Amino acid sequence: MGSGDDARYWRHPGVAGVDLLRARFVRHAFARHSHETFAIGVVESGAEELRIGSAVERVTTGGTVLLNPEVVHTGAPAHADGWTYRVLYLPVAELVSFTGIRGTPAFTEQLTYDRDTAAAVLAAHRAAESPDRLAAGTLLDLLLARLWHAHGSRTPTASPRAGRRDAELVRQVLLERMAGPPPLAELAAEFGTSRFALQRAFRARFGLPPHAYLNQHRVRTARSLLARGVPPAEVAVTVGFVDQAHLSRHFTRIVGVPPGAYARAHERTSRGRRSRLA
């Protein structure tokens, strides 16, 4: 790897068979090659020169590349500053399982600058950097739903539907296993339905996808613990966040202030009450 190049490759924490790459390439140029999987990538900065057959595309910031399996291509820096991008490598079987289609799935276009599609790829990819399997798997499913409806080539068949009762049972499992929830794929298999149907039923019942609902519950539990004087670092572990920074990010988004400020406010209130009773 040349000077200025940097790359990380890892496996998805919640969905078996899905690989991920996050890289900045300044000097590196790929030889002609193909993947047995789908390759779904977004350029975060710079520009990549992507050659597919005789066609050459200059993929700039925000461009989403959707390569079907076995499509031969190359990739190289389009200018001296190189490019930074994120890629998901998705097995064909995973997309077939998710969509329930007949035959082999395929994407209808190889490059799009749709902002919502790029945002969904980035959200799913970043979530896969966390060991939170439920969030990583759910955001991957949200991405697949968007990609398939916007760029897929086949019509899904009717997949097993999940109903209100399944949604209630999933909610119960998530709350009981708050600190270590199972991935959505495991829950869907347990209830004999697809991830897409289960996620749709859950959102219809509770207004949020499973991972967002669980994070909301974690924050509510964290508020109670902080008000009782439990240190934020201990609270983070208890409710199932990766670390205190993870707790702080979600807590602030929902409550409006960081956990420390929330705890101090409760401590001041408690001291005031004690002084009035003294």
Q: What are the residue boundaries of the structural domains of the chain, listed by start?
A: 6-131, 164-207, 213-271
> CB-side exposure of 193: number of CA atoms within 13 Å?
21
What does the pLDDT read at residue 2? Answer: 55
pLDDT of residue 43: 97
Give the per-residue pLDDT at 185: 85
E-assigned strands of 35-160? Answer: 38-52, 55-60, 64-67, 73-77, 83-90, 111-112
Mean pLDDT, rounded, of the chain: 87
pLDDT of residue 98: 80
Question: In whole angstroms, what is the distance from residue 59 CA to residue 77 CA?
Answer: 10
CA distance 43 to 2: 19
Contact 50, 30 (CB under 8 A): no
User: Which among 50, 142, 128, 53 is positioned nearest to 88, based on CA atoms?
Assistant: 128
Q: Which fold has domain 6-131?
A: Jelly Rolls (2.60.120)
Length of the chain: 278
Of the chain, the percentage scoring pLDDT greater than 70 comes to: 92
pLDDT at residue 154, rounded to an integer:
61
Mean pLDDT for the stretch of residues 182-193: 86
Distance CA 227, CA 229 (A): 5
CATH classification (class only), 213-271:
mainly alpha
> Looking at residues 185-192, what average pLDDT do you find?
86
Q: So what's the pLDDT on residue 1? A: 52
Which three-class secondary structure state does DSSP give residue 5? coil
* Interhelix angle 195-206/184-191, nearest 10 degrees: 100
Q: Mean pLDDT, to the nearest integer, of 124-142?
A: 91
State the pLDDT at residue 77.
Answer: 93
Tell me the mean pLDDT in the region 53-79.
Answer: 92
Residue 236 confidence class, pLDDT cut points 50, 70, 90 = very high
Contacts by residues 227-230 (CB-CB < 8 Å, ≥ 24 positions apart): 227/262, 227/263, 227/266, 229/263, 229/267
Residues 6 or more apart whose Cβ sits within 8 Å of residue 158? 100
- CB environment 54-88: b (16+ within 10 A), e (fewer): eeebebeebbbbbbbbebebebebbeeebbbbbbb
Quick check: do 6-131 and 213-271 share a fold?
no
Please compute the mean of the pLDDT values over residues 11-17 and round it to a whole number: 87
